[in-house]
Amino acid sequence: MQTDHTLIRQVIDQSLAGASLDPQAQQALREHLSTCAACSQYLEASNRAIAGLEGFSFSIDPGLDSKVLASLARRAQQLEAARIQRQRLWWTSCAALVLTSIGSLAASQLRGLAAVFHVGPAQFHAGLTTFWILPSLCFCLLFLLLPVFPALLNDKKGLPL
Amino acid sequence: MWLSEMTLPGTMDTDTQQIARGLRQRDVALLSALVAQYQYRLVRYLIYLTGSRNLVDDLVQETWLRVLERGHTYDGQSRFEPWLFAIARNLAIDTMRKRHIFSLDATNEDDPDHTIAAPISTGPSPFEQAARTEDAHRLAQSLATLEPIYREALVLRFQEDLSLQEMTRIIGAPISTVSTRIYRGLAALRAHMEGALHAN
């Protein structure tokens, strides 16, 4: 008999916690509650405790909303500024890449320069790649990495990128 | 209400999708509306979670900033509240860890002797201050001494009316654990309520 009550109270708890009961369990619960004062009282006490939670009314600092909204507006501005900066750097990087490509292509076409430096065409191309094209490409990529540096240096203050 | 005003005629957008889109665009007007709509519930959740008013204002502010910054991670497929409370919860846990107040995830629920130190405060608890009915006054003492994980389960289930699945997403624990927390929290309140009634 005690087991019955324990089981029924578990079902009551499950039901209150939000678990879905199958029709048979619901029927068994109804039948038991109609004849068992102790379990009915258990359910009533549970419902009363839950209803009691409605009796709390927490006060909110009247200035809190305006503080939150002000900090949101400020942060949104910072994030927007960071986005614009990132966009600018992206376009600058693209432009630098295009200019580098054009310049490198033009330089590679100037075969006469090899004679000016008294080197062979292969050496000229190697020098051009080492001292012009690669550094220029690195420089272009540097624009994209610029916004990451503050975040790497100071993780807390860096804007999320 | 505010969302229905924002709905364009003829669109099939749900509220959550509108929120998700606004958050992706970092729409401050939408955020202001969300603050107005959810502020009280956020404050209440944090009070239940921390058992103190001291940290709540800072946590609320940090939570909304995090919503602004990480709004793009809300997909609009589920309700907004669990996502908001999950952010608030993570911030609260971080803050409490840093201040060595207590840890929600360090709780050993299988150890009946295990207790979590409640935030040290003098004067009435936030629950005693907020109690407006006789039953609430009876429950206030019980809530103040109840472990935070059980208070959290109670507020999410019975005040926020979240489903067990939604609660698991916030708490990061399986349904069985969440259910157990609800049972134990409710048992503590029931015992206190019955004790107070019999005493009267």
Distance in Å, alpha carbon of A82 to nearest chain B alpha carbon: 12
Contact A72, B65 (CB under 8 A): yes
Q: Does B112 have pLDDT greater than 60?
A: no
- Rounded to an integer, what distance in angstroms lies between the CA atom of residue B55 and that of residue B94? 12
For A82-131, what is each residue's pLDDT tens digit?
Answer: 889 888 888 888 888 888 888 777 777 776 777 777 777 788 778 878 88
Which range (A51-55, A86-90, A139-143, B125-129) has the least confidence? A139-143
Q: What is the pLDDT of residue A75?
A: 95
Those residues whose C-beta lies under 8 Å from the C-beta of residue A143, and which sit 6 or more positions away, are A89, A90, A92, A93, A96
Q: Hey, what are B130's tokens? A: 């907020």
- A152 contact B CB<8A: no
Average model confidence (pLDDT) across chain A: 84
Number of CB atoms found within 10 A of residue B25's CB: 11
> Greater confidence, A131 or B136?
B136
Q: Which residues of B touch A61 (CB under 8 A)?
A: 57
Give the per-residue SS3 of B1-70: CHHHHHCCCCCCCCHHHHHHHHHHCCCHHHHHHHHHHHHHHHHHHHHHHHCCCCCHHHHHHHHHHHHHHC
Strand-pairing partners, residue A56, are B131
| Candidates A56, A83, A157, partner chain B, best to mutate (most B CBs within 10 A) | A56
Q: Which residue has the tokens 């009876």?
A: B138
The residue among A53, A125, A96 whose CA lies nearest residue B182 is: A53
Alpha helices in A36-147 (DSSP H): 37-52, 64-109, 112-116, 121-128, 134-145
Q: Structural domain boundaries of chain A?
A: 2-55, 70-153
Distance in Å, alpha carbon of A12 to nearest chain B alpha carbon: 10
The residue among B93, B101, B163, B48 whose CA lies nearest residue A58 is: B48
* Contact at CB, A76 and B135, closer than 8 angstroms: no
What are the CB-based long-range contacts (under 8 Å, 24+) for B159-162? B159/A53, B159/A54, B159/B41, B159/B44, B159/B48, B160/B41, B160/B45, B160/B81, B160/B85, B162/B81, B162/B82
Q: What is the DSSP string of B84-127?
A: HHHHHHHHHHHHHHHTTS--STT--TT-TT---PPPP--SS-HH
Q: What is the pLDDT of residue A150?
A: 64
- A99 contact B CB<8A: no
Query: B151 to chain A: nearest residue by CA?
Result: A53
Residue among B43, B64, B137 whose CB faces A72 most closely: B64
Query: A73 to chain B: nearest residue by CA?
Result: B28
- Rounded to an integer, what distance in angstroms lies between the CA atom of residue B193 and that of residue B134? 11
* Contact at CB, B61 and A80, closer than 8 angstroms: no
Residue among A51, A56, A71 whose CB faces B65 most closely: A71
% of chain B at pLDDT higher than 70? 80
Residue among A17, A55, A64 whose CB faces B57 most closely: A64
Q: Does A161 have pLDDT greater than 60?
A: no
Q: Which residues of B touch A59 (CB under 8 A)?
A: 129-130
- Rounded to an integer, what distance in angstroms lies between the CA atom of residue A47 and that of residue A63? 36
Q: How many residues does chain B have?
A: 200
Which range (B8-22, B60-74, B89-103) has the least confidence? B8-22
Q: Specify the pTM.
A: 0.78
Strand-pairing partners, residue B131, are A56
CA atoms within 13 A on the CB side of B95: 21
Q: What is the pLDDT of residue A112?
A: 72
Fill in the DSSP letter of residue A20: P
Q: Hey, what are A75's tokens? A: 């942060």
Mean pLDDT across B18-31: 95
- Rounded to an integer, what distance in angstroms lies between the CA atom of residue A20 and that of residue A31? 18
* Contact at CB, B182 and A17, closer than 8 angstroms: yes
The residue among B68, B59, B118 whose CA lies nearest residue A69 is: B68
Which range (A8-17, A62-71, B7-16, B82-91) has the least confidence? B7-16
**Letter for the amino acid at B89?**
R
- A109 contact B CB<8A: no
Query: B33 to chain A: nearest residue by CA?
Result: A69
Q: Which CATH number fits domain B13-199: 1.10.760.10, 1.10.1740.10, 3.20.20.80, 3.10.20.30?
A: 1.10.1740.10
* Contact at CB, A79 and B68, closer than 8 angstroms: yes
% of chain A at pLDDT higher than 90? 42
